[in-house]
Amino acid sequence: MFNKDNFYNIYICGVGGQGIIKTSVIIGEAAMNEGYEVVMSEIHGMSQRGGVVSTELKIGEYKSSIIEKGHADVILSFEPSETIRGLKKSNEGTEIVFNTSPIIPSTLIQFHQNYPDIKEIINELKSNFNNVYPIDGEKLAIESGSLLSLNMVLLGAVISTDTFPLSKSSVIKSMKNNLSPKFHDMNLKAIEKGYNVVK
């Protein structure tokens, strides 16, 4: 059980333009509002051209902002192939929440590599990890009102996992504080859809 005497590690990854950093900010603010210490680091390359983007959050006590290999409590991935790249942070108990709708990363195009089969990714993950949650995030985002709400679908999904330490209400409050009011209804629908599909 998570408490203020330990920490919870969140690794978030995907490609530029998917709202990864904003999602991290929302989680971080929610953690602070609940009285936890939080630190975040971000790594991104050509994010506006679809390059790789990742953020690392530690909630609670910490010595470094970087998640050590094998120490992520959850991987939240916005893009299937980036899920694979993020596995270096995982262990068999890591909860893996990922969007199954691919965006071909620029690195694959650059090196003329084939995109992996989505079903194979899902099967491989389920064979090696205890808690795997593949989600058709794009479908749920469109149902919520816009593809732009993809990050909120995935946010809703991750907060419904068994180990996530923050309350749904504090995350929603943080979302409202960080996103334009005209999009609140759409983003609330997206959070609920992501939350319910995992629950």
Residue 81 has pLDDT above 80, yes or no: yes
Q: The whole model's pTM is what?
A: 0.91
**For residues 163 and 33, what is the distance between their CA atoms, to the nearest angstrom?**
19
**For residues 24 and 28, what is the distance between their CA atoms, to the nearest angstrom?**
6
CATH fold of 7-136+168-179: Pyruvate-ferredoxin Oxidoreductase; domain 3 (3.40.920)
How does residue 16 score in pLDDT terms, banded at 50, 70 and 90? confident
Lowest mean pLDDT among 19-23, 104-108, 111-115: 104-108
- Cα torsion through 180, 139, 17, 87, rounded to 10: 120
pLDDT in the model for residue 106: 66
- Cα torsion through 73, 52, 101, 84, rounded to 10: -50
Lowest mean pLDDT among 39-53, 59-73, 104-118, 124-138: 39-53
How does residue 43 score in pLDDT terms, banded at 50, 70 and 90? confident
